[in-house]
């Protein structure tokens, strides 16, 4: 087949076809509009394959040299933007191969020996995703570091902790932030697991059954920095579970970002005023001059829906496919690419945004006091005086009811009044009723005492090597 025959893709298959593809079908079936972003992986995979073909004596050293030279030029053309992508050549693979053949002739046509686009595309997506995962894990590290820095500064700052969005008990704001560090650390760990299963080589599976050429698959895997070769050719070309589990891990990570976003939005509202966000992450309103809207967290919350949607899309894409490769799989790319883009931008922006959080400790403390956040501490105090916990709970409920009726905090009730609820209450109750006393008392591993928060900060820093 001459290179200008390959240019007309409808004729590229063989003499079997008696009419050209319609323009609409060409547009419908082409993927070059989006899969061109795989070009670097495609060339890397081809070079590793060619190197092995030469080492195995399947192509000559001269052909291998021609292929290397051609690919170097193509790399330069794509990088400089002069490469001409053709819709008629369907996808990134055929575009690059056609140009290679145009540049170096027969050697270009020999590159595809022992290979199919089916194992080629599976290899490309895996290589591309592996490198993207590395970038995402690095960004998760940056986000964690930003949160850890803010947590350390706010270890002593008191926030009302909520359950059911009702004030529950005082917590250190630093402790609250470190909860997200735990989540993002697990996200990074999950991505690391996905990476291991992604980083295996399909090449050598060819179309579906393997190949009759004496390929050295392990050699190609090693050249590409992959951890091994896929052990079943049918599985190698047809499954996209690595893309699905990546998108699942990305969805979870976005869900974590989304929960954090929801809190930022709440905390910034007039009803809380716990924090402010740097202006560069907010917008104003075109009609209401007083508004400063937390657009970035809101958008992150919204974009979470789209990533979760991609996960559903990929699962659904896979579910009805018989073995082995089906063209359905071409539809794996856009959701996967968009997932990576969305997660990458979100993590990058949040790593910055966290540094722009202005904390308002007085507002947080006021809210904790107003919500009777130390009621549990009063109950615990009574338990220490010998009351069974259930009875103590009942006594404190009466005290809270009274305080609520008078619009005061528990700490504002006089000792005599408190003693009216139970005779065992003494002057030392004052300490139990302070927010700080409550905070310091929770000095157990994983608890909110500032000493624990600082210990966790140190542990996380050591873990991240920062």
Catalytic residues: 164, 285
Residue 426: Cβ within 10 Å count: 12
User: CA of 302: how far to CAs of 58, 74, 258, 276, 299, in Å?
Assistant: 53, 39, 8, 21, 5
From the CB of 338, what's the least distance to ligand ARG, in Å?
16
Q: Considering beta carbons, is residue 35 or 51 the nearer one to ligand ARG?
A: 35
Q: By CB under 6 A, is residue 374 in contact with ligand ARG?
A: no
| Interaction of residue 91 with ligand ARG, rule CB under 6 A | yes
Q: Which of 315, 373, 466, 335 is nearest to 35 (CA)?
A: 335
Please give the angle made by the CA atoms of 339, 305 and 29, to the nearest 5 degrees.
Answer: 50
Nearer to ligand ARG, 35 or 187 (CB): 35
Smallest distance, ligand ARG to C-beta of residue 38, A: 9
Distance separating alpha carbons of residues 187 and 56, to the nearest angstrom: 42
Our CB check for ligand ARG shows the closer of 91 and 377 to be 91
Our CB check for ligand ARG shows the closer of 110 and 117 to be 117
In sequence order, which residues have a C-beta less than 8 Å from that of residue 207 and are 6 or more positions away? 116, 118, 119, 237, 324, 325
In the bound state with ligand ARG, the residue whose beta carbon lies nearer, of 260 and 325, is 325
Nearer to ligand ARG, 277 or 324 (CB): 324
Residue closer to ligand ARG (CB basis): 117 or 303: 117
Residues 256-285 that bind ligand ARG (CB under 6 A): none
Distance separating alpha carbons of residues 354 and 361, to the nearest angstrom: 16
Q: Can you tell me which of 9, 49, 117, 145 binds ligand ARG, judged by CB under 6 A?
A: 117
Site size with ligand ARG, rule: CB under 6 A:
10
Least Å distance, CB 327 to ligand ARG, is: 6
15, 327, 407, 444: which one binds ligand ARG (CB under 6 A) = 327
Q: Which of 185, 94, 17, 151 is nearest to 159 (CA)?
A: 151
Contacts for 247 with CB less than 8 Å, ≥ 6 apart? 307, 310, 311, 314, 335, 336, 339
Exposure string for 382-407, b = 16+ CB within 10 A, e = fewer: beeeebeeeebbebbeebbebbeeee
Please pick, from the candidates 251, 261, 330, 448, the single residue that binds ligand ARG as defined by CB under 6 A. Answer: 330
Stretch that binds ligand ARG, among 99-107, 324-332, 383-391, 395-403 (CB under 6 A): 324-332
Q: Looking at 285-293, 300-308, 323-331, 345-353, which segment touches ligand ARG (CB under 6 A)?
A: 323-331
What Å distances lie between residue 177 and 67, 149, 204, CA to CA? 53, 10, 48
d(CA 206, CA 112): 10
Q: Which stretch binds ligand ARG (CB under 6 A): 6-14, 74-82, 116-124, 421-429?
A: 116-124
Single residue of 6, 9, 21, 31 touching ligand ARG by CB under 6 A? 31
* Near ligand ARG by CB under 6 A: residue from 53, 59, 121, 324: 121
329 contacts ligand ARG (rule: CB under 6 A)? yes
Q: Is 211 in the site for ligand ARG (CB under 6 A)?
A: no
Should residue 115 be labelled a site residue for ligand ARG when binding is judged by CB under 6 A?
no
Where along the sequence are the contacts to ligand ARG (CB under 6 A)? Answer: 31, 35, 91, 117-118, 121, 325, 327, 329-330
């Amino acid at each position: 087949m001459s290179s200008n025959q390959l240019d007309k893709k409808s004729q590229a298959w063989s003499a079997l076809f008696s009419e050209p593809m319609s323009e609409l079908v060409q547009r419908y079936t082409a993927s070059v509009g989006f899969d061109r972003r795989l070009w670097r992986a495609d060339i890397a995979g081809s070079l590793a394959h060619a190197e092995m073909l030469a080492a195995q004596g399947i192509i000559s050293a001269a052909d291998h040299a021609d292929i290397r030279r051609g690919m170097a030029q193509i790399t330069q053309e794509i990088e400089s933007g002069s490469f001409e992508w053709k819709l008629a050549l369907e996808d990134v693979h055929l575009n690059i191969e056609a140009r290679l053949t145009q540049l170096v002739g027969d050697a270009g046509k020999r590159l595809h020996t022992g290979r199919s686009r089916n194992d080629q595309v599976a290899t490309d997506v895996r290589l591309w995703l592996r490198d993207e995962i590395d970038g995402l894990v690095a960004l998760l590290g940056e986000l964690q570091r930003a949160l850890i820095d803010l947590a350390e500064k706010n270890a002593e700052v008191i926030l009302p902790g909520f359950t059911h969005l009702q004030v529950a008990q005082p917590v250190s704001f630093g402790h609250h932030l470190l909860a997200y560090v735990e989540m993002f650390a697990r996200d990074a760990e999950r991505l690391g697991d996905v990476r291991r299963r992604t980083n295996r080589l399909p090449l050598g599976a060819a179309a579906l059954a393997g190949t009759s050429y004496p390929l050295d698959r392990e050699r190609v895997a090693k050249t590409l920095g992959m951890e091994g070769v896929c052990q079943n050719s049918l599985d190698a070309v047809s499954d996209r579970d690595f893309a699905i589990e990546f998108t699942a891990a990305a969805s979870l990570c976005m869900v974590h970002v989304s929960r954090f976003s929801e809190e930022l939005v709440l905390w910034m509202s007039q009803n809380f005023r716990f924090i402010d966000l740097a202006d560069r992450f907010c917008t104003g309103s075109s009609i209401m001059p007083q508004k400063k809207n937390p657009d970035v967290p809101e958008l992150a919350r919204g974009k979470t829906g789209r990533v979760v949607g991609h996960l559903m899309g990929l699962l659904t894409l896979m579910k009805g496919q018989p073995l082995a490769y089906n063209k359905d799989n071409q539809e794996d790319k856009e959701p996967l690419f968009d997932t990576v883009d969305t997660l990458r931008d979100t993590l990058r922006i949040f790593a910055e945004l966290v540094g722009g959080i202005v904390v308002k400790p007085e507002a947080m403390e006021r809210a904790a006091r107003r919500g009777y956040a130390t009621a549990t501490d009063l109950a615990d105090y009574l338990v220490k005086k010998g009351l069974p916990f259930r009875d103590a709970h009942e006594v404190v409920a009466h005290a809270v009811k009274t305080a609520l009726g008078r619009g005061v905090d528990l700490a504002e009730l006089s000792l005599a009044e408190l003693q009216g609820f139970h005779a065992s209450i003494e002057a030392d109750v004052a300490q139990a009723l302070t927010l700080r006393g409550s905070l310091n008392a929770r000095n157990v591993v994983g608890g909110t005492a500032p000493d624990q928060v600082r210990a966790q900060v140190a542990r996380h820093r050591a873990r991240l090597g920062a």
